[in-house]
Amino acid sequence: MYHAGSKVPTTFEWLAMDHEFSYSFGLRSPSYGRKSLERRHGRFGNGTNGDHPKGPPPPPPPPDEKGRGSQKMLTYRAARDLNKFLYLDGASAAKTDSGEMDTQLMLSNVIKEKLNLTDDGENERMAERLYAARICKWGKPFGLDGIIRVEVGFEVVLCDFSADNVELVSMLEMVQPNQYLGLPAPTVISKEEGWPLDENGSLVEDQLTDDQKAILEREDGWEKAFSNFNAVKSFNQLRAGAAHDNGEHRIHIDYRYLVSGINRTYIAPDPNNRRLLDEGMTWEKQLDMVDDLEKALEVGFDATQSMDWQLAFDELVLKFAPLLKSVSNILNSDGDINESIAINATALTLNFCLRFEAASNNSDEFGSGKDFAVYQYVSPYQALKTDADFLIWSSAVSVVGEIVDVIYKVNDLLIPEVYSFMTDNTTSSDLIKNVETARSTIDGLIESLGWIELNYRCERQCNWDEVCYTPSWGPSPMGMTEPGSHNEGFGTHFDESRQRLVINSKLQCININDLMVNRNH
């Protein structure tokens, strides 16, 4: 795990799971020429108490050479099994106010009351640091190691660096690219140094001396070259994040102690409008959720004793997504509706249905047909022990049951048409209606499932110098986007029905040039 900063942390602090992530955030290079004025005067928010910037996180103002503090890349490793983390689901590291940070906000509010925290700098601290401070203070008696969040990549908020849970194995002083190349520090452009600046701090170009023009020409050229370096640095962070699109395999979750808002309040089926802290989440329910967390922490986590539901669901998705999409594509084929559509679609559905069909009415103990199909796909491979186990399992049964029902329905609608064509070389007068019903049924299922694999993908294989980019709210190398605004970020659009920004279903392969163009907008 990695942390970039000016000193070794002693209390709570952030650790990235990828060194590219830490390096991208930690190496804040000074700017040269005209670019140095942009950074000095800034155009970003301060990110405190719920406010957040509208672009990539700004580097600090470039210090002078005498006062320059060194930036360090710290590498840590776990000294023991860190088995008391809280994993926060969703884009919980996003700097938004549209629900992504609801879990942290709920914990912070409840903890404030539980511990009677009346003077902990609530109005002076960045919101997420306030949340982390409170969560760590509350969790200390339970042995809480910290929390795990995700945005572009996975990150850990470790509660106590002075404990015996991690050890520092490397501390490198980071080298700035200008230092590596032996270039001088950026020229200080200020009125005190004789530069013509207006009341807004902008250069008055027609008042520049020949020497000043020469300095700017030279340093603007350097800055252009460094912009390439910085773009690659940021692109590497995106590539590292994309490597974990299917999860971080160093993190093992004990699903036996899942604490969820499901069955406590209404949870919107549309993930874009899903909120934990809605009108139905009363204060009493919030207290109950935190009480459940405390009970789980007292017991302790052991992922080896847990059913790996992520593995189980990944297999379900990998098996069903291609089948559902393939049937949908056949039923949505261009041209006239004819027997070929029924034959091609049932070639897929019948292969599924016959796997669970008994040759006679004498079925075994697990039954046959749809019930047997559901059993085959959702039968747990470890004993279910907790309420959370049964909640997750019952959800799996419900979803798979709906999928199986749709596959059987499509098959039942179209098999008679195939039979009619094979025996009489004709189809029924209901062929068009049956195909349209089958089409709406399968497409409705795909929409209601909302699986990433069914909707969000790049339409081509990305080149080696590209990454299939999943847009995020940020902060990220592609900037920050406020979901509740009309200001579309890269890869997002405003959805009128939801009244918010949503991620485009067609993802894009992006390269370093795309990142540089996006930064200049």
**Phi, psi angle pair for 20, to nearest 5°:** -60, -35
Cα–Cα distance measured from residue 239 to residue 509, given in angstroms and rounded to the nearest whole number: 11
**pLDDT at res. 39:** 64
Q: Give the integer Cα–Cα distance in Å for 365 and 380.
A: 17
Calpha distance 56→478 (Å, rounded): 7
The number of CA neighbours under 13 Å toward the Cβ of 79 is 10
- Other beta carbons within 10 Å of 388: 22
C-alpha torsion angle, residues 217, 220, 222, 226 (rounded to 10)? -170
Show Cβ contacts of residue 486 under 8 Å, excluding neighbours closer than 6 positions: 494, 501
pLDDT tens track, the chain, 521 positions: 999 999 999 889 999 999 999 999 889 889 999 999 986 554 433 333 333 333 334 444 444 443 345 799 999 999 999 999 999 988 888 888 888 899 999 999 999 999 999 877 777 778 899 999 999 999 999 999 999 999 888 999 999 998 889 999 999 999 999 999 999 999 999 999 999 999 988 999 999 999 999 999 999 999 999 999 999 999 999 999 999 888 898 999 999 999 999 889 988 888 888 889 988 999 999 999 999 999 999 998 999 999 999 999 999 999 999 999 999 999 999 887 888 999 999 999 999 999 998 777 665 656 678 999 999 999 999 999 999 999 999 999 999 999 999 999 999 999 999 998 888 888 788 889 999 999 999 999 999 998 988 988 898 999 999 999 998 888 888 888 888 888 888 899 999 999 999 999 999 999 999 988 877 66
The Cα–Cα gap between 517 and 132 comes to: 35
Which of 12, 233, 15 shows the shortest CA–CA distance to 126? 12
Q: What is the pTM of this model?
A: 0.86
Residue 64 has a pLDDT of 41
pLDDT of the residue at 460: 92
DSSP state of 382: S
pLDDT of residue 63: 41
User: How many degrees, rounded to 5, is the angle at CA 318 between CA 315 and CA 319?
Assistant: 85
Handedness of CA 446, 98, 145, 384 (dihedral sign): negative
Place of tokens 């994040």: 241
Helix (H, G, I), strand (E, B) or coil at 132: helix
**Cα–Cα dist 363/372, whole Å:** 10
pLDDT at residue 519, rounded to an integer: 74
Cα–Cα nearest to 309, from 372, 361, 260: 260
Reading the block at residue 171, the tokens are 């501390």
Q: What is the pLDDT of residue 357?
A: 85
Fill in the DSSP letter of residue 153. S
The angle subtended at Cα 18 by Cα 17 and Cα 21, nearest 5°, is 110
